[in-house]
Structures are given as C-alpha cells and as structure tokens.
C-alpha cells in the first residue's frame, strides 16, 4: 500500500484471511453426493421446475451457490448424473420457504446482524418482526429461524418471509446469547412449537399401538424420554411413551393424527382436547 513516496507491505501471519484457505482441487464421491443432496434440500419448491435442475442460472440463490461450486470443481456432469439417478429431494422434502429469505437470514446470523421479517400467526394475521437471528432450523421440510424478538423480549421460532437485514438491533436485545439457550429450546420443543419458559414444560404420557410403533421408535420426541415395553393398563403389544415438551399445542395434533393407534394418558389438558376432537368427528360422521 502506497503512502506518499513510501510503500508499506503487509504480510499475513497465521490463518488465511479468506474463507477457504486452499482451493478445492478434488472431491470424493461421498462429498459430491452430499453436495447434490444439500442442493436438493436448499431448492425452493417450484412446480415449474424439475427437482433435478442443476444449471446455476435456473437454480435458486442457495441451490445455485452449490451448483456454481460444483461447476468450478469441474464435476458438473457427475453431479447431474447423481441428481437424476441417485439422490433426489421430493417436493415434500424441499423447503417451501423462499430461498432468498433464507439466504438473507443465514447471512445475518453468520455476522450477528438483526433482521426484519413478516410473521403470520395461525389466524392469518401478519405483522413485522424485528429480531436477532440465532439459528436456522429445518423442521419437517420447512425452514424456521430461532430469533430473539424485541416485542417478546424472548425467543421466537418462526417461518421467514420478506426478510431484510439491518445492523440496528431491537431495543433491550442482549449483547450475548449463549448457544445453549437455543439448544434448550430445540431440546424440549415439539416440531415447530417450543418455549424457554418453565411454565410451558409438560410431561406427555401416551399408549402406542403396535401399528404405530414403527413410526415412533428410534426417535427422541422430547426431554427425559422413557419407553415401557410391557406397561400396565394397556392392551397386549402396546407400549407406553413418556417425554417432556414445551410444544403441547403441536403435540396434540400429532397424537390425534395417530387415531385409534394412540391413547392420550397425561396431561389432563391433552386427554380432554383429544376427546373433544374425537366427539366432534363422530358427530360429523353421524350427521352425514
């Protein structure tokens, strides 16, 4: 760098200042397959586009970024073959979130910026949220952001729409948020519903029929999960599943979706809600 008649030369010590210290000169088969799968997850669901689109110009911003990386590595033909014959992410697996919104949120999270985005509740009411994003999470094929929201003065787990980055943080936003707080929210949440408030913690107890067990086993549904293989008070072959969650509202619909293959035992609020829904469905069937 020149300063008048003098020239000063700077020399970097330690790690490279660039994101990648060395250029990618080769990829293993497993690495390329992983990139193709990730590109499928990050594409936006568009009925006009085939799920095997590989051309960067036809891809969304994040899927296109992976395509450009693959092309720079000179393995685009191999990647296209894998996308068509080996691994494809269906429309039920790809994220319906607008990828530009996800890209803005990821970038803001990486550099500790704030975001503003539209939030829509279950009643269809929309409002603008000013928040500090902490982590993006993929839940049942949809992208959500865990963010510290100024209005709540707490965490919000939300979908993202019309995202704008801003360096202005919400009022009273904490200077530092531990990653363990986000981990705790995910630990006790149920799908996309969760809370960090102790009063929202609920112990769920269910009876699970053999027909439903293949969909239940090998997963952790909440905190302190226990399974009884030969429980008292349930039919032969049934199991008892218990766990703690802060996502009772969404857990209710999950239990109801299993129909007669699940029995709600605890808490009382869950039992009463399931019974109300069952009565309503019976009345609807009898009234036909």
Given this model, what pLDDT does residue 233 score? 94
Query: pLDDT grade, residue 19 (50/70/90)?
Result: low
Given this model, what pLDDT does residue 23 score? 64
Comparison of pLDDT for 11 and 156, the residue scoring more? 156
Query: pLDDT grade, residue 257 (50/70/90)?
Result: very high
Average of per-residue pLDDT across 127-145: 87
pLDDT tens per residue, range 206-225 = 999 999 999 999 999 999 99
145-to-41, 98, 176, 254, 262 alpha-carbon distances in Å: 16, 13, 17, 22, 31
pTM of the full structure: 0.74
Q: What is the mean pLDDT of the chain?
A: 83
Given this model, what pLDDT does residue 1 score? 44
Given this model, what pLDDT does residue 47 score? 56
Rounded (10°) CA dihedral 105, 192, 196, 251: 180
Decide if 128 contacts 134 (C-beta within 8 A).
no
Comparison of pLDDT for 45 and 69, the residue scoring more? 69
């Amino acid at each position: 760098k020149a300063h008048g008649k003098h020239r000063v030369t700077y020399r970097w010590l330690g790690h490279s200042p660039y994101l990648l210290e060395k250029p990618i000169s080769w990829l293993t088969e497993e690495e390329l397959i992983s990139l193709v799968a990730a590109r499928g997850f990050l594409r936006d669901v568009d009925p006009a586009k085939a799920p095997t689109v590989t051309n960067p110009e036809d891809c969304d911003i994040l899927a296109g970024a992976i395509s450009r990386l693959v092309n720079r590595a000179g393995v685009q033909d191999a990647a296209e073959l894998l996308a068509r014959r080996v691994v494809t992410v269906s429309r039920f697996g790809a994220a319906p979130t607008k990828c530009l919104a996800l890209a803005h949120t990821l970038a803001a999270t990486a550099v500790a910026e704030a975001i503003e985005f539209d939030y829509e509740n279950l009643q269809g009411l929309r409002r603008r949220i000013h928040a500090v994003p902490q982590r993006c999470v993929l839940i049942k094929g949809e992208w959500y952001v865990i963010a510290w929201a100024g209005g709540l003065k707490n965490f919000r787990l939300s979908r993202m729409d019309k995202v704008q980055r801003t360096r202005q943080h919400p009022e009273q936003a904490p200077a530092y948020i531990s990653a363990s707080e986000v981990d705790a929210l995910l630990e006790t949440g149920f799908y996309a519903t969760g809370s960090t408030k102790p009063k929202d913690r609920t112990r769920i107890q269910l009876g699970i029929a053999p027909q439903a067990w293949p969909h239940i086993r090998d997963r952790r549904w909440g905190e302190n999960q226990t399974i009884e293989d030969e429980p008292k008070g349930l039919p032969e072959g049934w199991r008892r599943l218990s766990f703690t969650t802060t996502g009772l509202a969404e857990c209710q619909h999950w239990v109801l979706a299993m129909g007669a293959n699940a029995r709600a035992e605890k808490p009382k609020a869950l039992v009463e809600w399931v019974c109300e829904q069952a009565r309503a469905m019976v009345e609807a069937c009898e009234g036909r």
